[in-house]
Amino acid sequence: MPVLDYLWIIPLLPLVGAAVNGIFGGRWAKNAVSGVAVGSTTLAFLAALEAVREFLSLAPNQIPLVRDYFTWITAGNFRADFALQVDQLTVVMLLVVTGVGWLIHIYSSGYMHDDPGYRRFFSYLNLFMFFMLVLILGANYLLLFVGWEGVGLCSYLLVGFFFLKQSATNAGNKAFWVNRVGDFGFILGLLLMFRTFGSLDFATVLPHAASMTADPAGQAGTLTVIALLLFVGAAGKSAQLPLYVWLPDAMEGPTPVSALIHAATMVTAGVYMVVRSHAIFLNAPVAMQVVGVIGCATALFAATIGLVQTDIKKVLAYSTVSQLGYMFLACGVGAFGASIFHLMTHAFFKGLLFLAAGSVIHAMGGEQDMRKMGGLRKKIPVTFWTMFMATLAIAGTPGFSGFFSKDEILDQARVMAPVLWGLGVLTAGLTSFYMFRLLFLTFFGTERYDEHHVHVHESPKVMTVPLIVLAVLSVCGGWMAAPQLAGGVNHFEQFLAPIFASGAAPVAAAPEASAGGAEILRALFGAPVIAGLLGFLLAWWLYIKSPETPKQWAQSLSGPYKLLSGKYFIDELYAAVIVRPLVWISDKVLWHVVDERGIDGAVNGVAFVSRESGDRLRHASTGNIRTYATWIVLGVLVITSLLLWMVG
């Protein structure tokens, strides 16, 4: 088992790529730079494929496979190893991260081709891959946290990639600071976890947590506190209420970054962490409720904002927040497998949506406002068709990947929490509406741009081929769950089942209707699908049939419209309640009083005292050698007399 024995090779490959490009790439041609970057990710993807092939031939008792390479930290009874772990959950994440990451690297080599920061971009992107792989391969929470912070750093660097733009640097700072809030909760959770279990290894903590008695419903015990603190971290990283504000601003980064980091991989790290810690969450009912409610609220909240955004990337950003909400909703009702399933299909179709949006922006010469697009369907057909596939997938059209994953989440929610199910169905309708609105505004209708200035052109092959591959995945990515509809087995759930078997009770009842035909009918014409259809029809009517209606509605409903287009004024609220008071305190108190008077005063005071006292004391020195000699002789006489007196 070569690769499984040398697991570290998978994260190391992108790190080497990042280092080589970062150190030597300055003098190289662009082809060499992208060759190193894409080559290292390709090798990482191949290594991951080989690792998965070897993993599938392992006996069940060898899973999870842990490889302990060296002891990283020992302090007292605390011990953390550099140990990597592979189990079914890791396998899914590994394939998604390396596969989607690889496609996006290829796409970027075309998309970023004219950018002067080409080498810097690929160096950061490879570094991101390294940290993301450490995050999913780590066998203890501390290593997970290293990857967690590392991807945060790369996110900051890449959001602020166009650092000459003030808004980009601001967005980078915002992403970093909001994540600090979440990470603070995460660290507290880890400390409490270490205090409770005496270790941070998955292999120690999780079985221990599973064997503990669950905190009684409605009460908060240690497990609940740990789970909630971990969820604070997850909410920061995965952009949930109330810490979601950084993700829409993060769209200032280059579009491939939005696709890779802010849609497919990094933002799902919070979901991964919660699913990884499912043993803790299952014994903390209060925390589960919080996760479910927050997830559902975020899904609905972000979807409503997405309805009226005009920037093509902003719509997708709010859509990402909304879909992440679905994943946490799934976690909250105990459908961890469905959550990971949606994570995977979402990585396919949302990665594709962002890359296709990048292709549109590329074709429009940098324009992101959908009001200035329109009628692009015939001019960039590959982009249109791939984006159409992704839209069908995210809207939950039967047969497409998003249908299977979203339907499974809502199906489990229906059993556990009917209210959350209702809101989830509503969100599905909204999702369908804003996605088709995006599609219609961009590709249909009249051409609202100046044809003399904008020369619309299809993107090069290096960009369209990844689009096509992702489109195929967006369509077929959910088919392994399809047999369930006919009363058969959901292969994805079955694959992940061993992970959750060690946890508490199996969640959600077995499929109640084993009569295949009725099950298929119920799924095909279930509430989410009908909601999606209604969303589509409404978008079609508003943006194709009578394009004047949206403006009239915006005027007649100006209050709600302003609320939505102003994003509920949450940014303004945070600015007034948190940012401005902080800036005021920093400026008036910390800077002018504490720093200038306190710290500077102390430092300058010490210098002043020593200078003044030195100035006084130096007058004791005459500079006359004979005076010094006299003092020496007197001193010698005194000491000699003393010695003689003491001896005598």
Q: Locate tokens 């993700």: which residue?
A: 247
- Whether the CB-CB separation of 253 and 262 falls below 8 Å is answered with yes
CB of 453 or CB of 626, closer to another protein: 626
DSSP run (H or E) holding 222: helix 222-237
Secondary structure (3-state) at 112: coil
Helices (H) and strands (E) in the chain, counts: 29, 2
Task: Please state the separation of Cα 308 from the chain's center in Å.
Answer: 24
- Whether the CB-CB separation of 149 and 168 falls below 8 Å is answered with no
CB of 217 or CB of 625, closer to another protein: 625
Q: Locate tokens 């002043």: which residue?
A: 608
CA distance linking residue 585 with residue 606, whole number of Å: 27
CB of 57 or CB of 622, closer to another protein: 622
CB of 446 or CB of 621, closer to another protein: 621
CB of 73 or CB of 633, closer to another protein: 633
CB of 569 or CB of 628, closer to another protein: 628
Q: Could you tell me the smallest distance in angstroms from the CB atom of residue 636 to another protein?
A: 9
DSSP for 579-643, written as a single string = IHHHHHIIIIIIIIIIIIIIIHHHHHHHHHHHHHHHHHHGGG----HHHHHHHHHHHHHHHHHHH
Query: Cβ neighbours of residue 569 under 8 Å, at least 6 residues apart?
Result: 563
User: Which residues bind to another protein, rule: CB under 8 A?
Assistant: 618-619, 621-626, 629-630, 633
* DSSP 8-state symbol, 447: -
Q: Could you tell me the smallest distance in angstroms from the CB atom of residue 612 to another protein?
A: 18
CB of 451 or CB of 615, closer to another protein: 615
CB of 555 or CB of 624, closer to another protein: 624
Q: Could you tell me the smallest distance in angstroms from the CB atom of residue 609 to another protein?
A: 22
φ/ψ (deg, to 5) at 352: -65, -45
Residue 64: cis peptide before it, omega within 30 degrees of 0 = yes
Q: Could you tell me the smallest distance in angstroms from the CB atom of residue 618 to another protein?
A: 7
Q: Dig out the tokens for 195 from the structure.
A: 């205090």
Q: Could you tell me the smallest distance in angstroms from the CB atom of residue 80 to another protein?
A: 60
Q: Could you tell me the smallest distance in angstroms from the CB atom of residue 648 to another protein?
A: 18
* DSSP 8-state symbol, 384: H
CA distance linking residue 446 with residue 503, whole number of Å: 55
Q: Could you tell me the smallest distance in angstroms from the CB atom of residue 593 to another protein?
A: 41
Q: Could you tell me the smallest distance in angstroms from the CB atom of residue 631 to another protein?
A: 10
First to last CA, the chain: 87
Q: Could you tell me the smallest distance in angstroms from the CB atom of residue 630 to another protein?
A: 5
CB of 31 or CB of 613, closer to another protein: 613
CA distance linking residue 108 with residue 467, whole number of Å: 12
* DSSP 8-state symbol, 577: I
